[in-house]
Structure 1
Amino acid sequence: MSTETTASVSTHILDTSAGRPAEGVAVHLSARSGQRAQDGRGGDWQALGGSVTDADGRCKDLPALPEGTTHVRLDFAVEPYFEKTAKKQADAQQDAPANRDSGPAVFFPEVAITFAVVPGEHYHVPLLLNPFGYSVYRGS
């Protein structure tokens, strides 16, 4: 039985369209704790801070969760990452024929993942990302 009073969270992002880690993505962490008796829902979200993914696509310095946290939200700002990636690809292929559609470079400009936690557990939440879709799971 764990004696820890809080849960912990880590994440990383893999850009599946490029087959490599997504570097430079801003990630914000929020938490809520307790339950409101009248409707059974959690309290207000508390912004805890954030980080930016490193060259390995990992956030190694996410803030600690406060004691009593029951739900966690990770907000990934992916639009700037894909805009930067698209510009790099365009620069690298400046002599190649244009291959663009009329839509935005990314369909989901933000990804928000909300999950429940229990004290003493570690939650690693990887994000598999491409410009037009994403997948998330509880890792180890």
Structure 2
Amino acid sequence: MAGISTHILNASIGQPAPQVVVKLLRQFERSIVTLDVQQTDQDGRIKAFQIDKLVKGNYQLVFEVGSYFEQQHVPSFYPRVCIDFTVTDQHQHYHVPLLISPFSYSTYRGS
């Protein structure tokens, strides 16, 4: 099923990151449009962003990780993580995981 999903793992404690606000944006040449805003569930997942139709183009996921670490009473360096990616086939599913710690992050294209 085509769509976009994500999962956040707090690598510093080896646990999912629940209740992180994540925004899905679509980037055009001269504008950026917010398509959906959700919070990760208890397993650190957003199983599907609510979009009418997945189309080819540039997208961005914005993870509000600063608030998450603040709620954990952990100092951190990044207030948010922004991941830009390109949808090249609107019939595929795009899973974009994020591994976070207070002073680093990494990502990859998942399945």
Normalised to the residue count of structure 2, the TM-score between the two structures is 0.89
Correspondent of 1:78 among 53, 61, 65: 65
3-state SS of paired residue (1:81): helix
3-state SS of paired residue (1:106): coil
Question: Which structure shows the bigger proportion of residues in strand conformation?
Answer: 2
Q: Which position in structure 1 is the counterpart of 2:79?
A: 109
Number of residues of Structure 1 aligned to a counterpart in Structure 2: 110
3-state SS of paired residue (2:72): helix
Aligned residues of 1:51 and 1:61 also touching (Cα < 8 A): no
Q: Percent same amino acid at aligned positions?
A: 43
Q: Deviations over 1:93-116 (max 9, x none)?
A: xxxxxxxxxxxx110110000001
Counterpart mapping for 1:1-140 below 5 A = 8-32=3-27, 42-64=29-51, 66=53, 68-86=55-73, 105-118=75-88, 119-140=90-111
Shift of 1:61: 4.3
3-state SS of paired residue (1:23): coil
Structure 1's unaligned 5+ residue stretches are 34-41, 88-104
Structure 2's unaligned 5+ residue stretches are none
Distance in 1, matches of 2:27 and 2:53, equals: 9
Structure whose CA Rg is larger:
1
Normalised to the residue count of structure 1, the TM-score between the two structures is 0.72
Shift of 1:69: 3.7
Shift of 1:62: 1.5
